[in-house]
Amino acid sequence: MKNIFSSIPDTIDDEVFDDLLKSDSIRIERILSKGQRSPDDYWYDQDENEWVVVLQGEAVIALSDGHDVRLMPGDYLDIPAHTKHRLSWTKPDEVTVWLAVFYK
């Protein structure tokens, strides 16, 4: 057994991505953020759908259609494949723990 909140470092210079489960049709990933954000000119444009939930902390995801989505603990978002998005803000004084599920 493992715990999603174990092995969280105090200092996070860059976002941390850990695969928890991976198969041909699904990938489950833990993401740790602390004040990180995507560059202003960068957009994720993924071949997979992404369902993401914030378990701890806070974040804002910017969508290319101009909408910003603020996520608090327990909030989740389903991002269809090829929906351009970026991380525009994460709480700088607390680790934001995400669970991301990538699926076809």
Within a domain: 28: yes
* CA–CA separation, 59 and 26 (whole Å): 24
In the chain, which stretches have pLDDT less than 50?
none
Within a domain: 89: yes
* CA–CA separation, 63 and 87 (whole Å): 9
pLDDT of residue 65: 95
Q: How many domains does the chain have?
A: 1
Structure tokens, 44: 């994720």
pLDDT of residue 87: 97
Contacts of 63 (CB under 8 A, 6+ apart): 69, 83, 84, 85
Q: What is the CATH number of the domain that holds 37?
A: 2.60.120.10
pLDDT of residue 10: 83
**pLDDT tens digits along 76-101:** 999 999 999 999 999 999 999 999 99
pLDDT of residue 3: 96
Strand partners, 27: 22, 102
Within a domain: 35: yes
